[in-house]
Structure 1
């Protein structure tokens, strides 16, 4: 069967730009023997195939027998990487440092120790200036090896400084490793489970964070130490649904880059992830004006040469910006305007198949479903939710799996599909209970829907008002906010009570908030002028 996603060589070839393909042809003709030109034939054939299919490939390559294919593919893969390294050796600081280290090792093995030491000296200064301590450790390790094994007539002060610097770097790397491990493990917990579901989750995360956080964390001043510290607090707060703390630390994360502009080029991936989380924090807190400002900053950054330089970061910047644009329509109630973006975003996701993880696809499908639910197109909403419910390849985000089922049930409820609602209530309730994903809000929702079957249409409004009263006061409860973050249940019930579309209810809240913010600014300005 054709399989575009699993053959590594095919993926690599399909990721190449025209300039990279052209450079490969020149590189291989320059550096390979005549018999190696078979790999060019294989390259051209794979480049033209829409999907990887070995049977079709062998038919198009009569000069290559099946037993030869794997060896030739392996050789082509290595040559492609060598060609890309040759082309992009100055693209990133890491590649530059790796090249200098490789050159120093070559010179050392040739017996040219002093030349090797000169290159290592330059590499050491470059690594130091950009906080690349892992590379710095490798540089110093090679310097120490040369100084230990050979008489280089290096002055005593240099050997002392090398040993002292090695100790400092080792200590620094240990601190950064512990903090980056903490950030990664917290992020991993969130990807698997979503937000803390109850006091047990909360207690466990709190204790884990306390045990793993270095005691001197807030005395650290190095860029990477602070970066991973802020990331750790970001995920810690987000898991616990402390959205104010989440906002504070995502802002610190972004501010760290704003005060170290050069690091936006050195660690662009961390910067775009920080902007993504800052926008999510504004979304969770409904900070409308700050959201707009941050999105404009991110959109401007996306057009810079730094953001456009590498495929990986260009694609993820685009994905995060599209996610933020959808969030804007979700939180302002402009669902129909948001739907105008869906086809373009879906096409981009299809184009980025090789680069986008299943988790990201699940999140976008959920957002698409929510836009259709809010605009009243329940059938299309169900289609998107089915993609999530039926997806067994992405064993991620129990919370999204749960809320996809919940919204699926509500969409059928809205369509009046009474014949399947009862079985859906049982299956969704059973799934959420099994996953320990039920909150008081969901319990009340199941209770209301079950009860509504026996209520006549003319008596439904009082029942809706009772339901609204029961869940309204839970809006500020930390363990209940999860339900409101995934699906604005309160606005949905209010739309029934006040007989208005859900989009209108959310838009009214948005405009009221903007008026309050504007009024507050006027009061502050008048006080300032009076003072």
Structure 2
């Protein structure tokens, strides 16, 4: 990894928009003595650099090597202060925290009444906007102040604060347990994907049941329900219960429409909920509902009232384009989807540093499938190579496995089978290492390995045999996931019927239109 990728300050400076850079310079220049500050000179130098170069900084004479680390830390802090003061970043959370800071300062000055007044206002704001962690902090500070300055304006003040603290603590505890469960299930999904056998299923079921706290749904607020639906969604994904995935993703999104103010306060969770709803609709093949949901999301995201920042822009790019690709897979319109390749490539470069490698590789896999469906096997191989050769990808082993299987098929289709035996051995070795060699993969590798011994006039019969063997796994609880990554059956049907695979998939899509 290069210094440019490692240096946090350089990345932060390069992430700033023109208006944010202007805001920073105005912030620094608020005092005349800062106009020649070394940290401002360092900022200007970094802003002009295309890649991070420490030698260039030292040669500029701005700072000595022994002082560079401290100066960079100071500049980093000043940029964050400037960004915090920017009106664009003044969301409810920051406003509540600011009020808590003000109250703490007043308390330290001994102005107890003024501090309590601000705290009460901030607490009501926090509870109203489901910021219960900070609300609990506020109550705890109120309790501290009350022990030093007993106000007689409200009867039974101590009892009121004690009850409030107990309620908030209980709500925060259940939210914490649900968020922990959700995070652990998400981690399982990223690492190994769907359950692969009965042993996996029992392990996930036991973990879920053991860590799911007891709850009264009617007593849960927005935040607790959100974490509950997240946990249930990941459990459904892991166990390949895609109808349940659709159910809980719908509950997640509907929760935001029930609490519309939360869309503005939690746009990231709103985007993620819609993404998982679309993914669930894709997995259960609800084509028409998928299209409606995607169009609705695109309208909301493009509306001026929807929050806007770098993180949201990156997630919107990722989720919208990933699901646009899925939409073309659903309908078999691979040719129409090719325009997305340039958009995705440009977006990956534009949002570099904010989209992790796992999601970048997932986009590459989808592009590879797009080319495969369009019959462009050489470009399919180009994108699969990006995944197979990525040594940094530690997550989603199932994605790596199916990328390699598709790579074998694409090489065969492209007529590039002169070193297929070497790739077969490499893929087989990889799958054994990952402990992910399932029936569908075994059948595919067995078929491809035997191609060299099959006469051309026997080929159609061998395709039919493979189709018959694989068809029985289409609805198998653990083997069906293979067909989520690569529609092998449609590929075989295209050979048996001597028709393009895209045509086969389109016909199937029309037959199950909902």
TM class by smaller structure: over 0.9
Write out aligned runs for 1:112-511 (5 A). Answer: 112-216=111-215, 218=217, 220-511=219-510
Q: Supply the distance in 2 between the matched residues of 1:431 and 1:67 (Cα, whole angstroms).
A: 48
Distance verdict in 2 for CA 1:168–1:446, change over 3 Å: same
Q: CA deviation at 1:84?
A: 0.9
Per the TM alignment, residue 407 of structure 1 is displaced from its structure 2 partner at its CA by 0.9
Q: Using the TM superposition, give the Cα deviation of residue 68 of structure 1 relative to its aligned residue in structure 2, in angstroms.
A: 2.0
Deviation at 1:31, TM superposition (A): 4.5
What is the Cα deviation at residue 245 of structure 1?
A: 0.7
What's the CA shift for 1:142? 0.6
Conservation of the 8 A alpha-carbon contact between 1:134 and 1:173: yes
TM-score by length of 1: 0.94
Return the offset for 1:36. Answer: 6.2
> Would the alpha carbon gap of residues 111 and 89 (structure 1) be closer, same or farther in structure 2, given more than 3 Å must change?
farther
C-alpha separation in 2, matches of 1:131 and 1:356: 28
Q: Which residue in 1 is equivalent to 2:11?
A: 11
| 8 Å CA contact retained: 2:58, 2:65 | yes
Deviation readout 1:35-87 (Å, 9 max, x if unpaired): 8622111111111111111112333x223222222111111111111111111
- Whether the 8 Å contact between 2:405 and 2:427 is mirrored in structure 1 is yes
SS at structure 2 position matched to 1:453: helix
Q: How many equivalent pairs are there? A: 514
Mapped partners of 2:154, 2:214: distance in 1: 39
Deviates most, 419-428 or 146-155: 146-155
Q: Report how far residue 308 of structure 1 moved.
A: 4.1
Give the Cα–Cα distance (whole angstroms) in 2 for the partners of residues 224 and 333 of structure 1. Answer: 39
What is the deviation of 1:93? 1.0
Check whether the contact 2:271–2:316 (CA below 8 A) recurs between aligned residues: yes
Residue pair 1:117, 1:143 contacting (<8 A) in 2 also? yes
1:89 and 1:99 in contact (8 A); partners too: no
**Aligned partners of 2:296 and 2:88: how far apart in 1?**
30
Question: Larger deviation: 175-184 or 262-271?
Answer: 262-271
Q: Report the aligned-residue RMSD.
A: 1.6
Aligned to 2:41: 41
1:458-499: CA deviations, max 9, x gaps? 111111111111111221112112100011111111111111
Q: Contact 2:365–2:387 at 8 Å: present in 1 too?
A: yes
- Contact kept in structure 1, 2:28 and 2:35, CA below 8 Å: no
Paired position in structure 1 for 2:81: 82
Contact 2:42–2:62, Cα closer than 8 Å, also in 1: no
Deviation string 1:421-467 (CA, Å, 9 cap, x unpaired) is: 12222221221122121221112112222233211111111111111
Q: CA–CA distance in 2 between the matches of 1:199 and 1:430? A: 24
Uncovered stretches (5+) of structure 1, i.e. residues with no partner: 518-531
Aligned equivalent of 2:66:
67
Match of 1:23? 23
What's the CA shift for 1:22?
Answer: 0.9
User: How much does 1:149 deviate?
Assistant: 2.4
1:392 deviates by: 1.2
Stretch moving more, 151-160 or 137-146: 151-160
Deviation of 1:298 (Å)? 0.6
- Provide the rounded CA distance (Å) in 2 between the counterparts of 1:65 and 1:412: 56
TM-score, normalised to structure 2's length? 0.97
Give the 3 Å change call, closer, same or farther, for CA 156–36 of structure 1 in structure 2. farther
Q: Does residue 93 of structure 2 align to residue 94 of structure 1? A: yes
Q: Is the 8 A contact 1:409 1:421 kept in 2?
A: yes
Aligned counterparts of 1:167 and 1:160: Cα–Cα separation in 2: 11
Is residue 83–residue 89 contact of structure 2 (8 Å, CA) maintained in 1? no
| 8 Å contact kept, 1:13–1:43 | yes
Deviations 1:260-285 (A, max 9, x none): 10111121111110000001011111
For 2:3, what is the secondary structure of its paired residue? Answer: coil
8 Å CA contact 2:334–2:370 kept in 1: the answer is yes
2:58 is matched with 58
Q: What residue is the counterpart of 1:529 in the other structure?
A: none
Does the Cα contact within 8 Å between 2:175 and 2:224 map onto a contact in 1?
yes
Distance 1:32 1:324, change over 3 A: farther
Contact 1:100 1:119 in 2 (8 A): yes
Tell me the distance in 2 between the aligned counterparts of 1:184 and 1:32.
49
Counterpart CA distance in 1 for 2:40 and 2:372 is: 51
Residues 295/13 of structure 1: CA separation in 2 closer, same or farther (3 Å cut): same
Any conservation in 1 of the 2:29–2:35 contact (CA below 8 Å)? Answer: no
Query: Structure 2 unaligned runs (5+)?
Result: none
